[in-house]
Structure 1
Amino acid sequence: MKKILVVFLFLAGLSSKAQPVLKGGLGTFIQKNIVYPAFSLQNCIQGKINISFKVNLAGEVYTSKVSSGLGIDLDQEALRLIRLSSGQWQVPAQYDTTYVLIAPVNFTLSGGDCNLINATQKNKAIAAYKANEGLTDVITNFYRNKAQGNYNEADEGRIVALRQELGYDDAYLEKIIAQGQKKLKQKDKQGACEDFLFVKYMGSALADELLEKYCK
């Protein structure tokens, strides 16, 4: 069984006394709230993602972006975690809110077959993710248009074959739904609904009840 470890290091170029501090500690927050993304978990992809962000005097994250990452789903999870922390920062009264803070988040997996994955296999999986992004968009755009009644029925067979080729079967989509349900428990409705919509626009009805209940 794969075990998830997240090592967090906070750097801001400021003295520790001048830094904003997350209530309970950012490392603890990330360890508690991480939802290891399905593709990276399935392919044992690990790595460091740097998130740059700013906080205002109310402790809210008001700007954030991936400053360096792997170009895969780990990037978005690291970004989501920082955004999820918004409103929970304790900020010194005289703090300069124009400072850009950097959060390097190291995603690490242990156990299972992950110890057997080498750098070549990891890089191959990352390359496959990037290469397939455009094809994934072809599928989701087709089903978005279909939901609006604007599609060519003759194209659907090709889309279904492409979806199968990329591995978006029910087992994979169930993992995406499980991700979304974890995010709901964290009160991250936006993140959850994005996952449920992904399932819908893969031409699946598996998330329809969740979309109806939480995403209207």
Structure 2
Amino acid sequence: MKRLVTIFLIFCCLAATAQLQFKSGKDGFTSFLREKTIYPSFSKNNCIQGTVNISFKLDEKGNVYSSRVTKSILSELDEEALRLVRLSSGKWKVPVGYDTTTAVIVPVNFKLSGFNCEGKSSRDMQDAIRSYQAEEGLTNSVINFYKNINQAKPGQEAQIIVIKNQLGIDDDYLNERIDNGLKKIKQGDKQGACEDFLFVKNMGSSLADQYLSKYCK
């Protein structure tokens, strides 16, 4: 079966939203999301789906500002939804007289098809979310270690390597993060790409060093 990642988007909540148009046409923003979404690996592998609500404002030139998550699923999906909305900056047609202090609410529904997710229950998804959240602290411990490696005590890195193995952070995982970063470069999202490359570096790996040097000076 062909694997598909589908993203559904519905505007809601404010009548002012109807005044806005995406520059590529009526279904432009929906198509934009489908084309640009890079489904985060943990959520994809664990069939985590649902809706992230993003609130944002537009200036008179259609640039996005003041974007934030108002309904969360999981940090990596929240961050992808935020990234997509910010990536749409400058692509909006704002009518004359539009109130630029108006918040637009965008529910972005992440849904997987073809990843053997049909048999997964809501409980399975919640268990995976709790597992991810529990591991975030360990991931941050690894990041903090390598950010401050000059202050490391003898033998401390061996403990960090054990944690990385426990988290499944190996070269395959890091190369996937690099691939995602390169996809973001093609989308014009330098900030998002550099965050991926820097994550790899902060896992104690040199795999992304060439991309950090090329794109993230």
Shorter-chain TM range is over 0.9
Aligned to 1:158: 159
Q: TM-score, normalised by structure 2?
A: 0.94
Counterpart amino acid of residue 108 in structure 2: V
- 2:72 corresponds, among 69, 73, 77, to 69
SS at match of 2:15: coil
Matching of residues 25-104 of structure 1 within 5 Å: 25-104=28-107
Identity of aligned residues (%): 48
Partner residue in 1 for 2:174: 173
The alpha carbon displacement at 1:153 in A equals: 3.3
Q: Mean alpha-carbon deviation: is it higher for 201-210 or for 135-144?
A: 201-210
Given that 1:12 and 1:100 are in contact with CA atoms closer than 8 Å, whether structure 2 keeps it comes out as no
Deviates more, 1:68-77 or 1:110-119: 110-119
Asked whether 1:144 is paired with 2:147, we answer yes
Question: In the TM superposition, what whole-angstrom CA distance separates every residue of 1:29-70 from its partner, at most 9, and x where no partner exists?
Answer: 111111111111121211100000000111001110000011
Residue 215 of structure 2 aligns to which amino acid in structure 1? Y
Counterparts of 2:39 and 2:47, CA distance in 1: 10
Structure-2 separation of matches of 1:210 and 1:42? 26
**Partner Cα distance (1:114, 1:153) in 2:** 44
- CA pair 16-99 structure 1, distance change in 2 beyond 3 A: closer
For the Cα contact (< 8 Å) 2:6–2:111, is it kept in 1?
yes
Letter in 2 for 1:10: F
Question: 1:93, 1:176 → 2: CA distance?
Answer: 42
Match of 1:21 in 2: 21
* TM-score, length-scaled by structure 1: 0.94
How many angstroms apart in 2 are the aligned matches of 1:125 and 1:77? Answer: 18
Q: Which residue of 1 aligns with 2:7?
A: 6
Whole-angstrom CA distance in 1 between matches of 2:53 and 2:151: 40
Q: 2:199 maps to which residue?
A: 198
Query: Structure 1 regions of 5+ residues with no counterpart?
Result: none
Contact 1:4 1:109 in 2 (8 A): yes
Count, aligned residues: 213
> What is the distance in 2 between the residues matched to 1:43 and 1:182?
22
Q: Give 3-state SS (helix, strand or coil) of 2:73's partner.
A: coil
Match of 2:128 in 1: 125
Q: 1:64 to 1:15 in 2, by over 3 A?
A: closer
| Preserved CA contact (<8 Å) 2:47 2:115 | no
Structure 2 letter corresponding to 1:20: L
Preserved contact between residue 11 and residue 17 of structure 2 (Cα < 8 Å): no
* Alignment RMSD: 1.3
Unaligned runs of 5+ in 2: none
